Structures are given as structure tokens and as C-alpha cells.
Structure 1
């Protein structure tokens, strides 16, 4: 079997529609760690949602792969109603909980930034669950800051963050 690590980093590539079930499973495991009731919305068919994200022409889903197994995912696209294409919204970013703190998140984030830079994106935005301190700390280490244009609303369970994509 060919190892899917390069220089001790996972291979990062575009996800395939056939991988929607594996991606949905990883998504469920990761999100279950920070939702108060332990489960993300049960009324959504996450396999179909991920298949739609993968096949969406204005979006992109990257996956981190080790030894033939998807261990990280990132989904992003131009936000709905955006005035220009120089902003991207990071919709989902998850690493398999069994692989946290192994460098997969950093490698996946670096791949996102490289793609954004190549696409002429200057700003990335995201929403992170207010109870997900681990993700908030990760994003802060990568250079994400609170979005001054979108302060937390009373009762909202998400924080909005912003990232300035470095120009080469």
C-alpha cells in the first residue's frame, strides 16, 4: 500500500462525491465533541448534504488522507450574497478526534490558504460554535481574529472570525 503522507504530512486533495459517507461520519464524530447534547442536528441527512457540497460548482471540499482514510475535511465557498469573490467562507473544518494535535489541522488549513491565495481571495470568514474552545484556540493560532463587522448577537451560539489571506 502506498502511504498517503508526504514528508510526514497527510495528503490533502479535493474530496470525491463517493466519499460523502466517510466525510459525514468524520463530521459527526468531530461535531459530537462540542455540541451540548453531543449530537449535531439529527434532522439533516449529512451524507446528502456533503455530497451536495462536494458537487457544488461554487464550492470546494478538501480532505486530508492518511493510509487511505479521510482524517480531516474543509469546506468553503463564496458566501451567499457576497459583493465580490475576494472573500470566502469556511463552512466546515474538522479533524478526526482521534487525530487531534497531530498536525493534520495545520496542514489542512495551510492547503486552504494556498488555494484561497491562488484564487485571489483576500479574506476568509467563519462561524465557530461558542462552546468549542478547542477550535477557537486552533483558529487563533492560525491567525483568525474576531470579525469586527459581525459581533456576537445576544443568544447566538456562534462567534464570527476573520482571516486575512497573506499575499505572496
Structure 2
């Protein structure tokens, strides 16, 4: 089931975010950059705000939050700011369901283009996004150590 996150989900969302990020940042960035107390607190505050804005979707299985996606408009363009699945649940279609729910939400709101940034060492995520129609942003292909991808939403595009 995919649903909007509520304030009651904040602990699960923040923990999932921290665990998922550790899988792709570990070995590439100092642990403090993604596991340090200041970073964990900053991320939790960001998730709380996104949940309050109604911008977070949760994938729930057997009562457990197993995937999360956050999105919002910035500079007149929709951004997929986060999409994480518990590593123990990878390859079960949860990310694809969350992605489809985001696309459906965007289409309903009249969005025709979305953007995201993906860590340049996270090849698994890059392959996921490519399989779902994301391509390098022709205007800004990189932002530091992240690749910038763009999705054009046509009537048949997911």
C-alpha cells in the first residue's frame, strides 16, 4: 500500500532514510556526513517539514514503512527529492510502486517535467531511474557529486 506519510511515521521515515543513505554513501563519504548526529537531526527536521507539507509518500507492508518518496516544487520545476527503500526489501517492486505513485500525483497536478539528483557513485539508483525514463538533464547534468536527471511526463510515460 502506498499512502501519504503522517507525523506518526516520522521515526520510521527518518530511520529508513538514514539506513538507505548509509548503503550508498559508506566508503565514499566520511560516516559523519550521513550518520553524524547533526546530519541525522537535520534530516529528521527536513522529513518532518516534508510530512507536514503532504509531500511524502510511504510504502507500507505488514504495518511497516518499507519505502519513502518525497517531492516538491522548486524554481518552478517538480523535484523528486528522496526515494528510498529499506535495503532488506530491495528488488521487490517497492521503489517502482513509489515512483509510479509520484508520477500519478504529478500528472494529476499538471506536472510535465520532473528533476532529481542522484549520487554519482550510486549506480543501482542510476539504473533504476534510467529504467523509469529519467535521462541526464541537458541544462545541468551535474551538481557537485550528484548527477542531475530529468523526466518528461507524456501521456504514456511512467
The TM-score, its normalising length taken from structure 1, stands at: 0.84
CA distance in 1, matches of 2:104, 2:65: 20
In structure 2, runs of 5+ residues without a counterpart are: none
**Aligned residue-pair number:** 149
SS of the residue corresponding to residue 102 of structure 1 reads coil
Partner of 1:48 in structure 2? Answer: 45
Q: How large is the RMSD of aligned CA atoms in angstroms?
A: 1.5
Indicate the structure with greater helix content: 2
Structure 1 CA distance, aligned partners of 2:136 and 2:73?
Answer: 19
Give the aligned partner of residue 78 of structure 1. 73
What SS is found at the alignment partner of 1:54? helix
Residue number in structure 1 paired with 2:146: 158
- Stretches of structure 1 lacking an aligned partner (at least 5 in a row): 1-10
Q: TM-score, normalised by structure 2?
A: 0.89
Alignment-derived partner of residue 19 in structure 1: 9
**Structure 2 residue aligned with 1:4:** none
1:125: which partner in 2? 115
